[in-house]
Amino acid sequence: MPELPEVEVVRRGLAEHLTGAVFTGTTVLHPRAVRGQPGGAAALEQGLENALVVALHRRGKYLWAELGRPGHTRCLLVHLGMSGQMLLGAPGQVTSPHLRIRSRLVTADGSVLELSFVDQRTFGRWELTGYGVTDPVPHIADDPLTPGFDTPAVAPRGRTRPSEIKRGLLDQNGGSGVGDIYAAQALGAAPVPPLLFFTSRWG
């Protein structure tokens, strides 16, 4: 599963190429890729038509594109699941049998790109919402890579209930996006035993 740093790399790459681009056509090729979308594939395809990509954001492992459209402000929420990939290239370049969604966009400089959502395990998804990301994923807190992340404010939350330190690092309610691999590596580098309990001196 992509961890927080990998998802942030995806966000930065998409932001570089898609900010200011306009969706000109979307095709959903597998229903599981839009399983949370009210109205299904047709609603996503129609809702993205002529939508302008204003900015790309991330919270934890969720990505979302802030979209602008005459009379509307929407978000395209994306979760990569276990194996999802967001691939940019020339139209028709991606021919994977695991291609789930394909969108064509015209960039700010007039180039035509195709955004392909490839997902072998089909755990990832796209969802078009008319709300900010805090509505579909209210349980996801800010993460350590978020500008202005307040470590002194977050740290004391670990004292509120008994927990092993690794379990606390994985708790998405305090600080999000740190998965098993990075928690284990951080504790190993510290070094801190993963089963050590939080104490009043932590933070």
For the four alpha carbons of 186, 191, 196 and 199, in that order, the dihedral sign comes to negative
CA dihedral 20, 21, 23, 26 (to 10 degrees): -130
pLDDT tens for 143-195 read: 777 777 777 777 666 566 667 878 877 777 667 767 788 788 888 898 888 88
Closest CA to 81 of 34, 134, 43: 34
Better-predicted residue by pLDDT, 38 or 202: 38
**What is the model's pTM?**
0.81
Which residues contact residue 146 at a Cβ distance below 8 angstroms, ignoring those fewer than 6 apart?
A: 59
Give the percent of the chain with pLDDT over 90.
52
pLDDT tens for 25-69 read: 999 999 999 999 999 999 999 999 999 999 998 888 889 899 986
| Helix residue ranges, H only, the chain | 4-18, 40-48, 151-154, 165-170, 180-189
